Amino acid sequence: MLDIQNVHKSFGKNEILKGVNLTVDKGDVVVILGPSGSGKTTLLRCINFLERADQGTAKFGELTVDLHSASKKEVLDVRKRSAFVFQNYNLFNNKTAIENVAEGLIVGRKIPKVEAYKIAREALDKVGLSEKYDSYPSQLSGGQQQRVGIARAVALNPDVILFDEPTSALDPELVGEVLEVMKEIAREGTTMIVVTHEMQFAKDVAKKVIFMDGGNIVEEGTPHEIFVTPKEERTRRFLRRVLPGEYDFQI
């Protein structure tokens, strides 16, 4: 459903992505792990044209685009097929929860306001915020704000949702509520690419786990292959560091 090929991206002399390839099938949950600076977030942003890649292609079903030279229309076509959930929520502070969710439907998709608000209510219900339609971001906890962000993505009914470390800005006690919403969306068959440091989520939900380092995909496989029988020493070092005491590989 989504095929990313040979993605390169540099910022000045700093090469962030070094020819990354990624294939995602419909209904897959792909989790991308790796240390800070490995290129995980940049890859997501290039897929959604929040950054322009220096080189590479993306195929969304029958639509193929050049990630460097795509036209404005092609960028809009990609964004109609994808949605992005940000680390820091990216909500409009002067709009209520339902207005935040409906905005993209009305402005981006040209859906009539009445229908957009109906879709927005259903999306907020799905993430457990049926009591918060009229609340402003300042009246919501971080977890609730992120759930509004997820509702905004779900409401667009995209082919794929891109999650950029969706729990990294949350207090630890609020992480669980966001992960539960993400698990429920995954159970419904939503195609997801998730950059995260939440290892248990990757173990429980991912169909494919990718480990990135230094702008490359070092290793990819099922959760069992990555967490139990990783082939690469770099993967094993990462797991020992992020999950101390759990791993003593003798491979």
Question: For the chain, what percent of residues have pLDDT higher than 70?
Answer: 98
- What is the DSSP annotation of 119-161? HHHHHHHHTT-TT-TT--GGGS-HHHHHHHHHHHHHHT--SEE
The rounded radius of gyration (Å) of the Cα atoms in the chain is 18
pLDDT exceeds 70 at position 107? yes
pLDDT exceeds 60 at position 105? yes
CB distance 146 to 170 below 8 Å: yes
Backbone angles phi, psi at 190, to 5 degrees: -70, 135
Could you read off the pLDDT of 140-155 as tens digits, one per residue? 999 999 999 999 999 9
Stretch 216-227: mean pLDDT: 96
Stretch 154-181: mean pLDDT: 94
Q: Please give the order of strands across the beta sheet that includes 14-24.
A: 14-24, 2-11, 55-60, 63-66
Q: Is the four-CA dihedral 95, 96, 102, 104 of positive or negative sign? A: positive
Q: Return the pLDDT at 134.
A: 97
Q: Return the pLDDT at 173.
A: 87
- Confidence band (pLDDT; 50, 70, 90) for 26? very high
- Confidence band (pLDDT; 50, 70, 90) for 10? very high
Q: Return the pLDDT at 216.
A: 97
Q: Return the pLDDT at 251.
A: 42
Could you read off the pLDDT of 67-102 as tens digits, one per residue? 999 999 999 999 999 999 999 999 999 999 999 999
Three-state DSSP class for residue 80: helix
